[in-house]
Amino acid sequence: MSDFLQVSTEVAEALERGRPVVALETSIVGQGLPAPHSLQAALGCVAVIRDEGAVPATIGVLDGCVRVGLTRADIERIAAGSEKVSSRDLGPALVHQKAGATTVAATMRAAWMAGIRFMATGGIGGVHRGHPEDQSADLQELAITPVAVFCAGPKIILDIGLTLERLESLGVPVLGFDCDEVPAFYLSSSGHPVSARVADAVDAARVLAASWATGTRGIVVAVPPPAELEGADDLVSQAIARAGEIEGAGVTPRLLAMMAELSDGRSLDLNVQVVTNNARTAARVARAYPEESRNWTR
């Protein structure tokens, strides 16, 4: 194990004993949501994972280490001020002692290094609308890192169709959790089909085991949101029009902030519900996985 990787005692013991563990990202705390919604989302995910009998492993960069299994105090440190850290940024953040909030890509990388197969987030990154050259590192990480990412599909501000095409080209399955169409984060359906449907936690665990046994790497498990944001498509169009020509890492936070403003905060409340629902689903599948994976273990 890398000297830069620090796994909490609770998470390490759970992995050693074969208990279910679910990784959580921290970019939702550092950049994705404002206070108090940021901590509500982070701590809510921790709580529902424990309620489902699994162990939460919140991941971030602190004090020159990738920390797997952050405490509440650690999460509050990241919320108080941190840099957005993707997989490409891990080295500099570690060497320069940065406080880092990990994206989906960086969290996947750290989870795999620690031996964790399951991760929950709100929505994955993807291809930006009108800028197909601007693609999230989440997509490439899914192509190479064998972790299942439970989410409500790509973020609605993205070009969902092109994102799914890119995932198909990279050989990344998009499994619909009791749904036939990929959710659009704030909406249950995007109009785009999933690559396969899984009926429940047991079915999902079986498909994940069979996929990994046959060489698949990252897998998206798309979970419909527990509620919908009324007029979400119109709000996205307005947000994009108002946000202007922002490029790079600032695009997603700016657009999500515009969505919150235009929806009078309704998107923030739903965001918390979405991410905690995804964490609950991930915990249930992680709990079912050891039993269902036995037939696929060589």
Q: What is the pLDDT of residue 267?
A: 81
Summarize pLDDT for 253-277 with one digit per residue, the tens. Answer: 677 777 777 777 788 888 899 999 9
Instruction: Give yes or no: 52 in active site.
Output: no
Summarize pLDDT for 207-218 with one digit per residue, the tens. Answer: 999 999 999 999
**Which of the four pLDDT bands, split at 50, 70 and 90, describes residue 243?**
low
In the block, tokens 């696929």 appear at 296
CA distances from residue 38 to 28, 258, 294 in whole angstroms, order as listed: 6, 16, 38
Q: What is the pLDDT of residue 249?
A: 55
Instruction: Give yes or no: 10 in active site.
Output: no
Separation between Cα atoms, residue 292 and residue 280, nearest integer Å: 19
Summarize pLDDT for 274-283 with one digit per residue, the tens. Answer: 999 999 999 9
296 within a domain of the structure (yes/no): no
Q: What is the pLDDT of residue 279?
A: 98
CB of 142 within 8 A of CB of 149?
yes
83, 84, 155, 181: which is the annotated catalytic residue? 155
Q: What is the pLDDT of residue 238?
A: 78
Q: Residue 98 sits in a domain of what CATH number?
A: 3.40.1790.10
CB of 126 within 8 A of CB of 158?
yes
Alpha helices in 17-155 (DSSP H): 27, 37-51, 72-80, 90-95, 104-114, 137-144
297 within a domain of the structure (yes/no): no
283 within a domain of the structure (yes/no): yes
CA distances from residue 2 to 113, 114, 193 in whole angstroms, order as listed: 8, 9, 40
**Which of the four pLDDT bands, split at 50, 70 and 90, describes residue 298?**
low
The rounded Cα 249 to chain-centroid distance in angstroms is 16
294 within a domain of the structure (yes/no): no
CA distances from residue 139 to 9, 105, 226 in whole angstroms, order as listed: 31, 8, 25
Q: What is the chain's Cα-based Rg? A: 18
Q: Which residue has the higher pLDDT, 67 or 236?
A: 67
25, 52, 83, 181: which is the annotated catalytic residue? 25
- Helix 201-213 vs helix 266-293: angle between axes, to the nearest 10 degrees? 60
274 within a domain of the structure (yes/no): yes
Summarize pLDDT for 166-195 with one digit per residue, the tens. Answer: 999 999 999 999 999 999 888 888 999 999
Q: In the chain, what is the straight-line distance between the N-terminal and C-terminal CA atoms, in Å?
A: 24
Question: Largest Cα–Cα distance of the chain, in whole Å?
Answer: 54
188 within a domain of the structure (yes/no): yes
Count CB atoms within 10 A of the CB of residue 213: 13
Using CA atoms of 160, 165, 171, 172 in order, give the dihedral in degrees to the nearest 10.
10
Tokens, residue 135? 């693609």
Residue 86 has pLDDT above 90, yes or no: yes
CA angle 17-23-26, nearest 5°? 150
* Domain total in the chain: 1
CA distances from residue 95 to 77, 87, 217, 231, 246 in whole angstroms, order as listed: 19, 14, 29, 45, 29
- Supply the range of the domain harboring residue 43: 5-288
Return the H-helix or E-strand segment holding 176. Answer: strand 174-177
Summarize pLDDT for 126-174 with one digit per residue, the tens. Answer: 998 878 887 899 999 999 999 999 999 998 888 999 999 999 999 999 9
SS3 state of residue 262: helix
